[in-house]
Amino acid sequence: MKKVYFTVGPSEILPSIPIFTKQAINDQIFSLSHRGKVFEQLFEDTVSQLRKLLLIPPSYQIFFISSGTEAMEKIIQNCVKQKSLHVINGRFAERFYKTALELGKNAQRYDATGSFSAEDLQVRKNIELIAFTQNDTSTGMAIPLREIYKTVRKYPEALIAIDAVSSMPYVDINYKKVDSVFFSVQKGFGMPSGLGILILSPRSINKAKQLKEKGVSIGSYHSFISLLQFADIKQTPDTPNVFAIYLFEKVIKEFLKKGIENIRKETESKANMLYEFFEKSQIYNPLIVNNNFRSKTTLIVTVRGGSKGVVKYLLDRGIVIGKGYGERKDQDIRIANFPAHTIKDIKLLINLLKKYAGTLRS
């Protein structure tokens, strides 16, 4: 039986991915040199289409890297000499924070469990970077952009980094207000894993240059400086995942055709369908209580009686959902709501969740 994946990443792929894959084989993409004209055109097209889709300003750089996790490391290395601050709304935010510690930085954490207000945020002097996980996939807690922009106004000297791995392309960021944004393609872009996207402000690039001049290590082939040198000639320092870039370009074009506004509206209406169902249910309770901080793209729900039963019930019926993250694996379920998930899929899922709840009552 062909399954439907509601896992939070990798997740369900777009129906067009097998078609694009056949085209890639016909175009002999797997053998394409990353130092030739064809690749350079692909690089240029992908970057310009992505700019159009997400309204990324021309002065901002777009780089291809390996993953979201890699972006965390590169941002710390290239934007922080000593001090970073991390707003912790889940385990992915913690990963970002730990990355800074592992790189020898003097990282500060600010715990934001269940809610976050820029007004309450206290930041030490000379903080160089404030890192947000806009949508933490372990807790289903999303930080409203409004609160991020308030933080920007409160601390204008700090660079602002945003992990948007599991909320892109739903989240509509005003790039001009922030300095680094990253995501990977196996979540909201309905693609196989293996490609990370890093978007950088001129300020971020300048900071990397300053650190390099001061003799601080900013990493090697994927330092911002090295990425920039190659991006200038529409190439990457290493051999990138050319196939993923090829797929990505086609997916972006598909999204442009559908219209980003339509994609975002559809994401909201599917999220509303799910949350309305959970609100009425006796056994499913969203982990994040305050509505303003609930993720629209990765929904985490505590299941009365534990998650094991419902995960298996759905799996037996061809629906794959995620268990809770880490130590919450037996308590929560995690459900992705990405563009690859149709309204029909969501209705089917709700129907089965309802039926499972019925088996508990009888």
Ligand X SMILES: *Cc1c(COP(=O)(O)O)cnc(C)c1O
Q: Which residues bind ligand X (CB under 6 A)?
A: 9, 67-69, 92, 133, 135-137, 163, 165-166, 184, 196
Nearer to ligand X (CB atom), residue 54 or residue 357? 54
Task: Give the nearest distance from C-beta 66 to ligand X in angstroms.
Answer: 8
Q: Which single residue brings its beta carbon nearest to ligand X?
A: 68
Pairing of strands 159-163, 180-184: parallel
Nearer to ligand X (CB atom), residue 194 or residue 306? 194
Task: Give the nearest distance from C-beta 111 to ligand X in angstroms.
Answer: 17
Rounded to whole angstroms, how far apart are CA atoms 127 and 212? 19
105 phi, psi to nearest 5 deg: -85, 160
Sheet containing strand 83-88, edge to edge, reads 61-65, 196-200, 180-184, 159-163, 129-133, 83-88, 106-111
Task: Give the nearest distance from C-beta 133 to ligand X in angstroms.
Answer: 5
- Peptide bond just before 339 cis, omega within 30 deg: no
Nearer to ligand X (CB atom), residue 195 or residue 357? 195
Nearer to ligand X (CB atom), residue 166 or residue 226? 166
Rounded to whole angstroms, how far apart are CA atoms 101 and 239? 29
Rounded to whole angstroms, how far apart are CA atoms 268 and 249? 25
Total number of residues shown for the chain: 362
Nearer to ligand X (CB atom), residue 209 or residue 323? 323
Task: Give the nearest distance from C-beta 338 to ligand X in angstroms.
Answer: 11
Pairing of strands 298-303, 284-286: antiparallel
Nearer to ligand X (CB atom), residue 294 or residue 356? 294
Task: Give the nearest distance from C-beta 196 to ligand X in angstroms.
Answer: 6
Nearer to ligand X (CB atom), residue 135 or residue 226? 135
CB 108 within 8 A of CB 258: no
Task: Give the nearest distance from C-beta 3 to ligand X in angstroms.
Answer: 20
**Kindly report the CA angle at 234 between 233 and 238, in degrees rounded to 5?**
95
Q: Which residues contact 168 (CB under 8 A, 6 or more apart)?
A: 54, 183, 187, 188, 189
Residue identified by tokens 């990324």 is 56
Nearer to ligand X (CB atom), residue 47 or residue 131? 131
Q: What DSSP assignment string belongs to 302-356?
A: EETT-SHHHHHHHHTTTEE-EEPSGGGTTTEEEEE--TTS-HHHHHHHHHHHHHH
Tokens of 62: 């777009």
Tokens of 329: 């694996």
Task: Give the nearest distance from C-beta 65 to ligand X in angstroms.
Answer: 9
Nearer to ligand X (CB atom), residue 68 or residue 237? 68
Task: Give the nearest distance from C-beta 75 to ligand X in angstroms.
Answer: 12
Task: Give the nearest distance from C-beta 241 to ligand X in angstroms.
Answer: 12
Kindly give the interhelix angle for 202-213 and 68-79, rounded to the nearest 10 degrees. 60
